[in-house]
Structures are given as structure tokens and as C-alpha cells.
């Protein structure tokens, strides 16, 4: 297994040779990923292995591990999100080849025999990020109330003593 990482590789040639790479990369070097992070410090560890499967397809198996710092969308605080992603990819030349792949592997489209390995690592980290990152409800510093609880709290806090002009509407709601 080599730790010297080339910038671009020919995945089909590496699959013929059975080549493997492993290493670490600073998260700050992964520009697309940095856009989704609250903090860009830290590293990602990765290992990838190129091989041919029983149908002679070029395949890539590997693993990517990192600890990402995301912004919780509930409290806007820092959310520590560990990633341990498994790669199982098949190299394809045209999109139609993806239809013939087993469900257990994902396609990676390589037209001109050149693939940037760090793009694979970055893609896996981006795919691991949840659509709406957030802490568990009890871990956030924000208290949440249902809409009914908010209306009740507003009514209790109304110090003006004036009747609520919308109180009549509440009566219609309860009649249905």
C-alpha cells in the first residue's frame, strides 16, 4: 500500500495492477467540503484499493474517516460529526453502464482515464453530511415549543388587559 498520493490516476490501469493508496488530507484543502463546515481544521484519513471484479470491471473499494465540525441548524452551535464512510465504486465510461452495476456499488464516471483521488475522498465526506445537521433535541441550548404552546404563552404574557380581537376565531376552531 502506497502512502505517496499522485494528483491524478488512471483507475483502469491501477485496477489491472491491484494498486492501493492510503493517507491523510487536511480538510482545509477540500474546497467544496469547506463550504459546508463550520470549522475547517482537522484531517481525513483514507484508504483506497483498485481491483478488477469477476466481470472484469475496474472497481475501487476503500474507507474515509474524519471528524467534521458542522453548524447545528437548530441552535447554530458547533456540531461534532464523525464520518466513517465505506467506498464501493465501479468505474464507468458512459452513464448507461451504471444501469448494469450491482446495487451494492456506486458508479464513478471517468471519461478520459484520469481521476483525482482527493475528489473521491471529498465526495464521500460531502455525501456523509446530513441535509439538516442538528444536535439531538436535548443537546441544543434552544427550547422549542409547539405553536399551541407559543400562542398560550403569548396570551399569558399579554399585560395590556385588552381583549384579544382574534379570540372569536378561537371559538370557531373549537366548534369544528
Q: Is the pLDDT of residue 2 over 50?
A: no
> Is 152 a domain residue?
no
* pLDDT confidence tier of residue 161, bands split at 50, 70 and 90: low
> Is 164 a domain residue?
no
- For residue range 87-139, list pLDDT tens digits in order: 999 999 888 989 989 888 999 998 788 899 999 999 999 999 999 999 887 77
**Which range among 10-14, 65-69, 150-154 shows the weakest confidence by mean pLDDT?**
150-154
Q: Across-strand partners of 81? A: 68
Judge whether 20 and 2 are in contact, CB under 8 Å.
Answer: yes
pLDDT at site 25: 94
- For residue range 23-66, list pLDDT tens digits in order: 999 999 999 999 999 999 999 999 999 999 999 999 999 999 99
Strands 115-116 and 8-9: antiparallel
Considering its fold, how many domains does the chain have in total? 1
> Is 157 a domain residue?
no
> Is 130 a domain residue?
yes
> Is 46 a domain residue?
yes
Range of the domain at 106: 8-139
Judge whether 9 and 117 are in contact, CB under 8 Å.
Answer: yes
> Is 153 a domain residue?
no
Burial class (CB in 10 A: 0-12, 13-18, 19+), 136: exposed
Give the list of residues 6+ apart from residue 160 with CB closer than 8 angstroms, or none: none
pLDDT at site 145: 61
> Is 53 a domain residue?
yes
> Is 148 a domain residue?
no
Does the pTM surpass 0.85? The reply is: no
pLDDT at site 69: 96
Amino acid at each position: 500500500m502506497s502512502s505517496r498520493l499522485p494528483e491524478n490516476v488512471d483507475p483502469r490501469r491501477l485496477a489491472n495492477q491491484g494498486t492501493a493508496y492510503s493517507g491523510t488530507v487536511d480538510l482545509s484543502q477540500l474546497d467544496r467540503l469547506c463550504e459546508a463546515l463550520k470549522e475547517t481544521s482537522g484531517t481525513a484519513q483514507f484508504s483506497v484499493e483498485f481491483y478488477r471484479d469477476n466481470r472484469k470491471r475496474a472497481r475501487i473499494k476503500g474507507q474515509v474517516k474524519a471528524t467534521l465540525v458542522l453548524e447545528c441548524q437548530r441552535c447554530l452551535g458547533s456540531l461534532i460529526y464523525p464520518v466513517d464512510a465505506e467506498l464501493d465504486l465501479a468505474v464507468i465510461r458512459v452513464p448507461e453502464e451504471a444501469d448494469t452495476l450491482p446495487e451494492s456499488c456506486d458508479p464513478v464516471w471517468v471519461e478520459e482515464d484520469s481521476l483525482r483521488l482527493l475528489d473521491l475522498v471529498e465526495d464521500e465526506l460531502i455525501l456523509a453530511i446530513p441535509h439538516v445537521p442538528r444536535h439531538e433535541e436535548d443537546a441544543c441550548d434552544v427550547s422549542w415549543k409547539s405553536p399551541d404552546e407559543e400562542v398560550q404563552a403569548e396570551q399569558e404574557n399579554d399585560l395590556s388587559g385588552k381583549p384579544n380581537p382574534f379570540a372569536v376565531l378561537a371559538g370557531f376552531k373549537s366548534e369544528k
